Amino acid sequence: MRIKNFDEDKHILYLVATPIGNLSEMSPRAIEILNSVDVIGCEDTRVSKQLLNNFNISKKLISCHEHNEEQASLELLKYLENGNIAYISDAGYPGISDPGHRLLAKVLDNNYKVSVVSGASAMLNALIGSGLDTTHFYFHGFLASKHSARIHELEELKSKKETLIFYESPHRIGDTLNDLREVFGNRKATLARELTKRFEEYIREDLDYLCNIDISTLKGEMVLIIEGNKNEEIVTEKVLLDYAKKLLSNGINTKTAAKLTAKHFKVSKNDVYDLIIKG
Ligand code: SAM
Protein backbone atom coordinates (compact mmCIF):
# COMPACT_ATOMS: atom_id res chain seq x y z
CA MET A 1 0.00 0.00 0.00
CA ARG A 2 1.30 3.50 -0.84
CA ILE A 3 0.60 6.12 1.80
CA LYS A 4 1.31 9.85 1.58
CA ASN A 5 1.45 11.11 5.13
CA PHE A 6 0.85 14.80 4.66
CA ASP A 7 -1.82 15.04 1.94
CA GLU A 8 -4.36 15.59 4.70
CA ASP A 9 -3.41 16.72 8.23
CA LYS A 10 -5.39 14.02 10.05
CA HIS A 11 -5.15 10.40 11.21
CA ILE A 12 -1.36 10.53 11.88
CA LEU A 13 0.55 8.91 14.72
CA TYR A 14 3.81 10.80 15.20
CA LEU A 15 6.55 8.74 16.87
CA VAL A 16 8.69 11.52 18.29
CA ALA A 17 12.31 11.01 19.38
CA THR A 18 13.25 12.92 22.54
CA PRO A 19 16.66 13.84 24.03
CA ILE A 20 18.84 11.14 25.65
CA GLY A 21 20.22 13.57 28.23
CA ASN A 22 20.82 16.97 26.70
CA LEU A 23 17.62 18.98 26.43
CA SER A 24 19.09 21.20 23.71
CA GLU A 25 18.73 18.20 21.42
CA MET A 26 14.94 18.51 21.43
CA SER A 27 14.29 19.54 17.83
CA PRO A 28 12.08 22.50 16.86
CA ARG A 29 10.01 20.06 14.76
CA ALA A 30 9.48 17.76 17.75
CA ILE A 31 8.20 20.75 19.76
CA GLU A 32 5.96 21.89 16.91
CA ILE A 33 4.45 18.43 16.44
CA LEU A 34 3.89 17.83 20.15
CA ASN A 35 2.15 21.21 20.37
CA SER A 36 -0.05 20.38 17.40
CA VAL A 37 -1.45 16.94 18.28
CA ASP A 38 -4.65 16.22 20.23
CA VAL A 39 -3.07 13.92 22.77
CA ILE A 40 0.36 12.48 23.62
CA GLY A 41 0.90 8.86 24.57
CA CYS A 42 3.96 8.37 26.76
CA GLU A 43 5.94 5.70 28.59
CA ASP A 44 6.02 7.41 31.99
CA THR A 45 3.83 10.46 32.59
CA ARG A 46 6.17 11.87 35.28
CA VAL A 47 9.20 11.81 32.97
CA SER A 48 7.28 13.20 30.01
CA LYS A 49 5.56 15.94 32.05
CA GLN A 50 8.98 17.19 33.09
CA LEU A 51 10.23 17.18 29.50
CA LEU A 52 7.14 18.91 28.14
CA ASN A 53 7.20 21.56 30.91
CA ASN A 54 10.67 22.56 29.75
CA PHE A 55 9.19 23.50 26.39
CA ASN A 56 5.91 24.90 27.69
CA ILE A 57 3.96 22.14 26.00
CA SER A 58 0.69 21.53 27.76
CA LYS A 59 -1.17 18.51 26.43
CA LYS A 60 -3.24 15.62 27.71
CA LEU A 61 -0.93 12.67 28.39
CA ILE A 62 -1.99 9.04 28.21
CA SER A 63 0.25 6.52 29.89
CA CYS A 64 1.15 3.72 27.46
CA HIS A 65 3.98 1.48 28.60
CA GLU A 66 5.24 -2.09 28.34
CA HIS A 67 2.57 -3.44 30.71
CA ASN A 68 -0.55 -1.67 29.38
CA GLU A 69 0.37 -0.95 25.76
CA GLU A 70 -2.38 -3.22 24.38
CA GLN A 71 -5.19 -1.45 26.27
CA ALA A 72 -3.77 2.10 26.16
CA SER A 73 -3.24 1.78 22.38
CA LEU A 74 -6.99 1.32 21.93
CA GLU A 75 -7.65 4.51 23.87
CA LEU A 76 -5.10 6.43 21.81
CA LEU A 77 -6.50 5.01 18.59
CA LYS A 78 -9.85 6.76 19.18
CA TYR A 79 -8.16 10.15 18.79
CA LEU A 80 -7.03 9.23 15.27
CA GLU A 81 -10.62 9.14 13.99
CA ASN A 82 -10.63 12.93 13.72
CA GLY A 83 -7.13 14.15 14.54
CA ASN A 84 -3.47 13.37 15.18
CA ILE A 85 -1.60 11.86 18.13
CA ALA A 86 2.04 11.60 19.19
CA TYR A 87 3.92 9.00 21.19
CA ILE A 88 7.11 9.60 23.16
CA SER A 89 9.17 7.24 25.31
CA ASP A 90 11.35 8.31 28.24
CA ALA A 91 14.36 9.00 26.00
CA GLY A 92 15.47 8.57 22.41
CA TYR A 93 13.32 6.82 19.84
CA PRO A 94 10.09 5.04 20.81
CA GLY A 95 10.23 1.41 19.70
CA ILE A 96 14.00 1.09 20.17
CA SER A 97 14.40 -0.92 23.40
CA ASP A 98 11.32 1.05 24.45
CA PRO A 99 7.55 0.70 24.00
CA GLY A 100 5.77 2.04 20.93
CA HIS A 101 5.79 -0.89 18.57
CA ARG A 102 2.44 -2.39 19.59
CA LEU A 103 0.77 1.01 19.29
CA LEU A 104 2.30 1.46 15.84
CA ALA A 105 1.10 -2.01 14.75
CA LYS A 106 -2.47 -1.20 15.84
CA VAL A 107 -2.39 2.16 14.06
CA LEU A 108 -1.24 0.52 10.83
CA ASP A 109 -3.80 -2.30 11.21
CA ASN A 110 -6.48 0.35 11.31
CA ASN A 111 -5.15 2.02 8.15
CA TYR A 112 -4.06 5.18 9.91
CA LYS A 113 -0.75 6.89 9.13
CA VAL A 114 2.60 6.85 10.96
CA SER A 115 5.38 9.40 10.75
CA VAL A 116 8.66 9.42 12.70
CA VAL A 117 10.12 12.68 14.00
CA SER A 118 13.93 12.46 14.07
CA GLY A 119 16.02 13.07 17.17
CA ALA A 120 18.64 11.65 19.51
CA SER A 121 19.66 8.00 19.35
CA ALA A 122 22.06 6.52 21.90
CA MET A 123 23.12 3.67 19.65
CA LEU A 124 24.02 5.90 16.72
CA ASN A 125 26.02 8.36 18.81
CA ALA A 126 27.91 5.46 20.40
CA LEU A 127 28.54 3.65 17.12
CA ILE A 128 29.71 6.72 15.23
CA GLY A 129 31.85 7.97 18.14
CA SER A 130 33.39 4.54 18.77
CA GLY A 131 35.76 4.73 15.82
CA LEU A 132 34.83 1.13 14.89
CA ASP A 133 33.65 0.13 11.42
CA THR A 134 30.25 1.65 10.64
CA THR A 135 29.86 0.12 7.15
CA HIS A 136 27.74 -2.76 8.45
CA PHE A 137 26.42 -2.96 11.99
CA TYR A 138 24.02 -4.98 14.09
CA PHE A 139 21.98 -3.56 16.96
CA HIS A 140 21.10 -6.11 19.64
CA GLY A 141 19.77 -3.87 22.42
CA PHE A 142 19.79 -5.49 25.87
CA LEU A 143 21.16 -8.99 26.41
CA ALA A 144 19.24 -11.47 28.59
CA SER A 145 19.72 -10.96 32.32
CA LYS A 146 20.21 -14.67 33.15
CA HIS A 147 23.81 -15.87 32.72
CA SER A 148 23.11 -19.04 30.71
CA ALA A 149 20.63 -17.25 28.43
CA ARG A 150 23.14 -14.46 27.87
CA ILE A 151 25.90 -16.93 26.97
CA HIS A 152 23.48 -18.61 24.55
CA GLU A 153 22.70 -15.26 22.89
CA LEU A 154 26.38 -14.34 22.63
CA GLU A 155 27.18 -17.71 21.07
CA GLU A 156 24.59 -16.94 18.41
CA LEU A 157 26.24 -13.57 17.76
CA LYS A 158 29.87 -14.67 17.93
CA SER A 159 30.35 -15.29 14.21
CA LYS A 160 28.77 -12.04 13.05
CA LYS A 161 31.14 -9.92 11.00
CA GLU A 162 29.22 -6.70 11.60
CA THR A 163 30.07 -4.25 14.38
CA LEU A 164 27.80 -5.16 17.32
CA ILE A 165 25.85 -2.72 19.49
CA PHE A 166 24.51 -3.52 22.97
CA TYR A 167 22.61 -1.49 25.53
CA GLU A 168 23.50 -2.16 29.15
CA SER A 169 22.82 -0.85 32.64
CA PRO A 170 25.50 -0.07 35.25
CA HIS A 171 24.48 -2.90 37.60
CA ARG A 172 25.02 -5.59 34.95
CA ILE A 173 27.94 -4.13 33.00
CA GLY A 174 30.61 -6.16 34.87
CA ASP A 175 28.93 -9.52 34.18
CA THR A 176 28.18 -8.62 30.59
CA LEU A 177 31.77 -7.58 29.86
CA ASN A 178 33.09 -10.82 31.36
CA ASP A 179 30.64 -12.90 29.32
CA LEU A 180 31.54 -11.01 26.15
CA ARG A 181 35.24 -11.64 26.83
CA GLU A 182 34.61 -15.32 27.55
CA VAL A 183 32.56 -15.99 24.41
CA PHE A 184 34.14 -13.58 21.89
CA GLY A 185 37.74 -13.67 23.10
CA ASN A 186 39.54 -10.34 23.00
CA ARG A 187 38.23 -7.81 20.48
CA LYS A 188 38.32 -4.08 20.01
CA ALA A 189 35.50 -2.55 22.02
CA THR A 190 34.18 0.85 23.03
CA LEU A 191 32.12 1.67 26.07
CA ALA A 192 30.25 4.96 25.59
CA ARG A 193 28.44 6.38 28.60
CA GLU A 194 26.42 9.41 29.62
CA LEU A 195 26.15 10.47 25.98
CA THR A 196 25.30 14.11 25.31
CA LYS A 197 25.56 14.81 29.07
CA ARG A 198 28.19 16.64 31.10
CA PHE A 199 30.05 13.44 32.03
CA GLU A 200 30.01 11.91 28.55
CA GLU A 201 32.87 9.42 28.19
CA TYR A 202 34.14 7.10 25.45
CA ILE A 203 36.52 4.26 26.41
CA ARG A 204 37.94 3.06 23.08
CA GLU A 205 39.99 0.01 23.95
CA ASP A 206 39.36 -3.76 23.86
CA LEU A 207 37.43 -6.30 25.95
CA ASP A 208 40.48 -7.20 28.07
CA TYR A 209 40.88 -3.56 29.03
CA LEU A 210 37.17 -3.01 29.71
CA CYS A 211 36.98 -6.14 31.91
CA ASN A 212 39.72 -4.72 34.14
CA ILE A 213 38.18 -1.31 34.75
CA ASP A 214 36.97 -0.54 38.26
CA ILE A 215 33.22 -1.08 37.78
CA SER A 216 32.35 1.62 40.31
CA THR A 217 33.67 4.19 37.79
CA LEU A 218 31.19 3.03 35.13
CA LYS A 219 28.11 4.93 36.22
CA GLY A 220 25.10 6.12 34.25
CA GLU A 221 23.63 4.96 30.96
CA MET A 222 25.95 3.14 28.59
CA VAL A 223 26.30 1.51 25.21
CA LEU A 224 28.83 -1.16 24.22
CA ILE A 225 30.21 -1.29 20.69
CA ILE A 226 32.13 -4.46 19.82
CA GLU A 227 34.18 -5.14 16.71
CA GLY A 228 32.73 -7.85 14.43
CA ASN A 229 34.35 -11.29 14.05
CA LYS A 230 37.55 -11.02 12.04
CA ASN A 231 38.75 -14.64 12.48
CA GLU A 232 38.69 -17.41 9.94
CA GLU A 233 39.08 -20.50 12.18
CA ILE A 234 40.39 -23.88 11.00
CA VAL A 235 37.73 -26.35 12.14
CA THR A 236 39.10 -29.55 13.66
CA GLU A 237 37.24 -32.05 15.88
CA LYS A 238 39.13 -30.62 18.84
CA VAL A 239 38.03 -27.07 17.98
CA LEU A 240 34.41 -28.25 17.78
CA LEU A 241 34.60 -30.19 21.02
CA ASP A 242 36.34 -27.40 22.95
CA TYR A 243 33.69 -24.99 21.80
CA ALA A 244 30.83 -27.32 22.77
CA LYS A 245 32.41 -28.08 26.18
CA LYS A 246 32.55 -24.37 26.98
CA LEU A 247 28.82 -24.15 26.32
CA LEU A 248 28.11 -27.21 28.45
CA SER A 249 30.10 -25.75 31.34
CA ASN A 250 27.85 -22.68 31.18
CA GLY A 251 24.73 -24.75 31.84
CA ILE A 252 23.64 -25.19 28.22
CA ASN A 253 22.28 -28.69 27.49
CA THR A 254 23.90 -31.16 25.06
CA LYS A 255 21.34 -30.78 22.28
CA THR A 256 21.50 -26.98 22.31
CA ALA A 257 25.30 -27.00 22.62
CA ALA A 258 25.47 -29.23 19.51
CA LYS A 259 23.08 -26.92 17.66
CA LEU A 260 24.98 -23.74 18.57
CA THR A 261 28.38 -25.26 17.81
CA ALA A 262 27.13 -26.53 14.45
CA LYS A 263 25.66 -23.15 13.62
CA HIS A 264 28.82 -21.32 14.60
CA PHE A 265 31.15 -23.50 12.50
CA LYS A 266 28.56 -24.23 9.78
CA VAL A 267 28.88 -28.01 10.22
CA SER A 268 26.33 -30.79 10.81
CA LYS A 269 24.45 -30.72 14.12
CA ASN A 270 24.39 -34.54 14.29
CA ASP A 271 28.16 -34.77 13.79
CA VAL A 272 28.76 -32.37 16.66
CA TYR A 273 26.23 -34.20 18.83
CA ASP A 274 28.05 -37.50 18.21
CA LEU A 275 31.38 -35.86 19.03
CA ILE A 276 30.03 -34.58 22.36
CA ILE A 277 28.60 -38.00 23.26
CA LYS A 278 31.91 -39.71 22.42
CA GLY A 279 33.56 -37.07 24.62
N1 SAM B 1 14.79 4.46 23.19
C2 SAM B 1 16.16 4.68 23.55
C3 SAM B 1 17.01 4.93 22.28
O4 SAM B 1 16.45 5.31 21.25
O5 SAM B 1 18.23 4.81 22.33
C6 SAM B 1 16.71 3.54 24.38
C7 SAM B 1 15.97 3.31 25.66
S8 SAM B 1 16.65 1.98 26.59
C9 SAM B 1 15.37 1.70 27.78
C10 SAM B 1 17.82 2.74 27.61
C11 SAM B 1 19.25 2.34 27.25
O12 SAM B 1 19.71 3.17 26.17
C13 SAM B 1 20.24 2.58 28.37
O14 SAM B 1 20.32 1.48 29.25
C15 SAM B 1 21.54 2.76 27.60
O16 SAM B 1 22.07 1.52 27.22
C17 SAM B 1 21.07 3.50 26.35
N18 SAM B 1 21.13 4.97 26.56
C19 SAM B 1 20.11 5.82 26.65
N20 SAM B 1 20.56 7.08 26.86
C21 SAM B 1 21.91 7.00 26.90
C22 SAM B 1 22.95 7.94 27.09
N23 SAM B 1 22.69 9.25 27.30
N24 SAM B 1 24.22 7.51 27.08
C25 SAM B 1 24.50 6.21 26.88
N26 SAM B 1 23.56 5.27 26.70
C27 SAM B 1 22.28 5.65 26.71
- Residue 1 clears pLDDT 90, i.e. is over it: no
96, 98, 125, 167: residue to mutate for ligand 1 pocket, most atoms within 8 A of CB? 167
Ligand 1 atom nearest to 89, measured from its CA: 1
Alpha carbon distance 190, 207 (integer Å): 8
pLDDT value, residue 37 = 98
pLDDT in tens, 86-115: 999 999 999 999 999 999 999 999 999 999
Mutate to test the pocket of ligand 1, among 221, 222, 225, 226 (most ligand atoms within 8 A of CB): 221
Evaluate whether 225 touches 124 at the Cβ level (below 8 Å): no
- pLDDT surpasses 90 at 180: yes
φ, ψ (nearest 5 deg) of residue 39: -155, 150
From the CA of 163, how far away is ligand 1's center (Å)?
18
User: CB neighbours of 138 closer than 8 A, spacing ≥ 6?
Assistant: 157, 160, 162, 163, 164, 165, 228
CA atoms of 207 and 177, how far apart (whole Å): 7
Distance 92 CA to ligand 1 centre (A): 7
In this prediction, residue 265 has a pLDDT band, given cuts at 50, 70 and 90, of confident
CA distances from 80 to 40, 69, 75, 83, 97 (A): 12, 16, 10, 5, 25
Ligand 1 and 43: CB distance under 6 A? no
265 contacts 227 by C-beta, under 8 angstroms: no
Provide the pLDDT confidence category of residue 117 given band limits of 50, 70 and 90: very high
User: Does the beta carbon of 21 lie inside 6 Å of ligand 1?
Assistant: yes
Residue 122 Cα, ligand 1 centroid: separation in angstroms? 5
Check residue 103 and give its pLDDT: 97
**Cβ 195 under 6 angstroms from ligand 1:** yes
Closest CA relative to residue 130, chosen from 218, 206, 185, 184:
206
pLDDT in tens, 34-67: 999 999 999 999 999 999 999 999 999 999 999 9
More confident call, 139 vs 9: 139
pLDDT at 61: 98
- The ligand 1 atom at the shortest distance from the C-alpha of residue 166 is 16
Q: Which atom of ligand 1 is nearest to the CA of 21?
A: 23
What is the per-residue pLDDT across 233-258, written as a single tens digit (0 to 9) for each?
678 888 899 999 999 999 999 999 99
> Would the CA dihedral through 38, 44, 49, 52 be positive or negative?
negative
Q: What is the side-by-side order of every strand in the sheet holding 201-206? A: 137-142, 163-168, 222-226, 188-193, 201-206
Cα Dmax for the chain: 70
Residue to mutate, 128, 198, 222, ligand 1, most ligand atoms under 8 Å from C-beta: 222
Q: Is the pLDDT reported for residue 232 higher than 80?
A: no
Please tell me if the CB atom of residue 47 comes closer than 6 angstroms to any atom of ligand 1.
no
* Gap between the Cα atoms of 267 and 257, Å rounded: 13
* 275 — pLDDT class (breaks 50, 70, 90): very high
